[in-house]
């Protein structure tokens, strides 16, 4: 019996259907992010890094000398959202003295996943030219995929930028894209098997030896637990961290708290 006859892949990747009040999270993210942007003084909004309308990033600077650069890449299955819903998740890192960059990117079906990977490479390179010091990368869901792709053997980051990356935290990331070909979403992704393999970090060799943490909520869909374990098993410098009781939408809440285990994991020496 084939895998497809026993697994409903659309259900396996359905998060909102299993999270009570899921729509409320989405509304609240946008509202809290807007309030944060209005109140945070040290910022540069809508910095252009590429030709597309969505190729912009926001930079939030701490109220003291910066320790380095954190880049947070949002999720949404490469299909939805932009940087405007996540600004407040920079709070924890800012309080610890780090500058935070949050990029938007072109979405499928207007862009292929490989195109989005290239865009994030450019965004990080341009952000790194503006902010000195070490670099930490974090991303949620599809963003978790994108930040791990930055340190794969085919990385498009310049060597001097790649060498500055000290730690990567993929939060509920997707690291083997082959199963996504079996979902309705692939009508937008248009991935064939080769495309999916070429964009799967777990099937590639890392280009650097920095610590990588595959962080996932303990109450998430089984497929997201599997995806995080897969990366931890595939990469020798990667570790698996399960956050008890957290689901796909609240697993990133720790980024708002400078003293949370998630923020500490991202910024640890």
Pair of tokens at residue 253: 């809440």
> Is residue 52 predicted with pLDDT exceeding 90?
yes
Alpha-carbon distance of 40 to 107, in angstroms, equals: 28
Q: Rounded to two decimals, what is the model's pTM?
A: 0.96
14: three-class secondary structure by DSSP? coil
3-state helix, strand and coil shares in percent for the chain, rounded to the nearest 5: 40, 20, 40
Q: Which residues of 140-154 are buried (b: 16+ CB within 10 A; e: fewer)?
A: bbbbbbbbbbbbbee
pLDDT in tens, 222-256: 999 999 999 999 999 999 999 999 999 999 999 99
- 112-123: pLDDT as tens digits: 999 999 999 999
**What is the reported pLDDT for 235?**
98
What's the pLDDT score for residue 79? Answer: 98
Domains and CATH numbers, the chain: 3-267 (3.40.50.1820)
Q: What per-residue string of b and e applies to 37-75 under the rule 16 or more CB within 10 Å gives b? A: beebeeeeeebebbebebbbbbbbbbeeebbbbbbbbbb
pLDDT of 33 strictly over 70: yes
CB of 63 closer than 8 Å to CB of 55 = no
What is the pLDDT, as a whole number, of residue 2? 41
Name the token pair of 2.
Answer: 């084939």
pLDDT digits (tens, 9 = 90+) for 122-147: 999 999 999 999 999 999 999 999 99
Of residues 206, 204, 180, 207, the one with CA closest to residue 191: 180
Q: What's the pLDDT score for residue 65?
A: 96
Q: Average pLDDT of 55-68?
A: 97
d(CA 113, CA 75): 12
**The pLDDT of residue 7:** 79
Contacts of 15 (CB under 8 A, 6+ apart): 22, 220, 221, 224, 247, 248, 249
State the Cα–Cα distance between residues 145 and 194, nearest whole angstrom: 17
The string of pLDDT tens digits covering residues 146-177 is 999 999 999 999 999 999 999 999 999 999 99
């Amino acid at each position: 019996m084939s895998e497809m006859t026993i697994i409903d892949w659309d259900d396996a990747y359905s998060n909102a259907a299993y999270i009570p009040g899921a729509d409320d999270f989405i509304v609240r993210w946008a509202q809290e992010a807007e309030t944060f942007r209005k109140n945070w003084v040290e910022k540069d909004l809508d910095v252009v890094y590429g030709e597309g309308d969505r190729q912009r990033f926001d930079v939030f600077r701490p109220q003291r000398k910066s320790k380095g650069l954190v880049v947070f890449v949002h999720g949404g299955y490469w299909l939805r959202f932009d940087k405007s819903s996540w600004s407040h998740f920079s709070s924890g890192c800012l309080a610890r003295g780090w500058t935070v960059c949050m990029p938007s990117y072109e979405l499928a079906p207007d862009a292929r996943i490989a195109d989005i990977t290239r865009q994030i490479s450019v965004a990080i390179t341009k952000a790194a030219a503006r902010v000195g010091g070490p670099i930490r990368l974090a991303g949620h869901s599809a963003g978790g995929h994108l930040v791990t792709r930055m340190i794969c053997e085919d990385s498009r980051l310049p060597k001097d930028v790649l060498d500055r990356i000290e730690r990567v935290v993929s939060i509920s990331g997707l690291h083997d894209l082959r199963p996504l070909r079996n979902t309705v979403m692939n009508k937008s992704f248009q991935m064939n098997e080769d495309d999916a393999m070429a964009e799967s970090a777990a099937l590639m060799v890392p280009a650097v030896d920095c610590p990588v943490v595959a962080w996932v909520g303990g109450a998430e869909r089984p497929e997201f637990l599997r995806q995080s374990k897969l990366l931890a098993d595939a990469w020798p410098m990667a570790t698996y961290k399960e956050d008890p009781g957290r689901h796909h939408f609240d697993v990133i809440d720790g980024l708002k708290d400078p003293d949370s285990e998630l923020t500490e994991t991202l910024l640890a020496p």
